[in-house]
Amino acid sequence: MKSIKIAAAVFIALALILVLLAAGCTQPASPSGSASSAPNGTVGILETAGVGPMPSLLATGQIDGYIAWQPVVEAGVESNIGQVAVYSKDLPPAGEWSDHPQNVFVVRKDFYAQNPDFVNDFSALNLAATQYINDHPQETAAIDADWLAGGQNFTYGNVSVSSVTVVNNSLPTIEFSNNPSDSWKASTSDFVQALINLGTVKGYVANSSNQDAVLYNFQPYTSATAILASKNVTKPAPVQNTVGVGYLLAVDHSALFVAVKDWQYFNDTYGIALKPEDLTAAKPAVADFLVNGQKIATVNLVPANAGPNLMQLAATNSIQMSYVGVPPAISAIDIGTPITIAYPIDNLGSGLVVANGAPAQDWQSFAAWAKERSDAGKPLVIAAPGKGSIQDVMIRSALQSSGIAVTEVKV
Asked, for residue 390, whether it belongs to a domain, the answer is no
Arithmetic mean of pLDDT, 300-326: 97
Calculate the CA 187 to chain-centre distance: 16
Asked, for residue 182, whether it belongs to a domain, the answer is yes
Rounded to the nearest 5°, which phi and psi values hold at 241?
A: -95, 150
Rounded to the nearest 5°, which phi and psi values hold at 152?
A: -95, 180
As for how many domains the chain has, the answer is: 1
Q: pTM of the full predicted structure?
A: 0.88
pLDDT in tens, 318-356: 999 999 999 999 999 999 999 999 999 999 999 999 999
The strand order across the sheet containing 42-47 reads 82-87, 350-355, 65-69, 380-384, 42-47, 405-409
Count of positions (residues) in the chain: 411
What percent of the chain clears pLDDT 70, i.e. is strictly above it? 90
Asked, for residue 148, whether it belongs to a domain, the answer is yes
257/250 Cα distance (integer angstroms):
10
Domain of residue 244 covers 101-153+176-348
The strand order across the sheet containing 101-108 reads 174-176, 339-348, 101-108, 321-325, 243-248, 294-304, 286-291, 272-276
Asked, for residue 62, whether it belongs to a domain, the answer is no
The HSE-up count of residue 83 (CA atoms within 13 Å, CB side) is: 11
Residues 102, 187: contact at Cβ < 8 Å? no
Q: What is the C-alpha end-to-end distance of the chain, expressed in Å?
A: 27
Residues 275, 358: contact at Cβ < 8 Å? no
Asked, for residue 404, whether it belongs to a domain, the answer is no
Q: How confident is the model at residue 411 (pLDDT cuts 50, 70, 90)?
A: low
Of 379, 351, 349, whose CA–CA distance to 367 is shortest? 379
Among 50-54, 273-277, 313-317, name the one with the lowest average pLDDT: 50-54
What pLDDT shows up at residue 307? 95
Q: Dihedral sign for Cα 5, 11, 13, 17, please.
A: positive
245/250 Cα distance (integer angstroms):
15
pLDDT in tens, 42-91: 999 999 988 989 999 999 999 999 999 999 999 999 999 999 999 999 99
Of 178, 179, 185, 180, whose CA–CA distance to 211 is shortest? 185
Looking only at the bridges linking them, the beta strands covering 286-291 and 272-276 are antiparallel
What pLDDT shows up at residue 47? 94
Q: Cβ neighbours of residue 98 under 8 Å, at least 6 residues apart?
A: 89, 90
Asked, for residue 69, whether it belongs to a domain, the answer is no
Asked, for residue 230, whether it belongs to a domain, the answer is yes
Summary count for the chain: helices (H), strands (E): 16, 16
Asked, for residue 326, whether it belongs to a domain, the answer is yes
38/254 Cα distance (integer angstroms):
42
Looking only at the bridges linking them, the beta strands covering 65-69 and 380-384 are parallel
349/172 Cα distance (integer angstroms):
9
SS3 126: helix
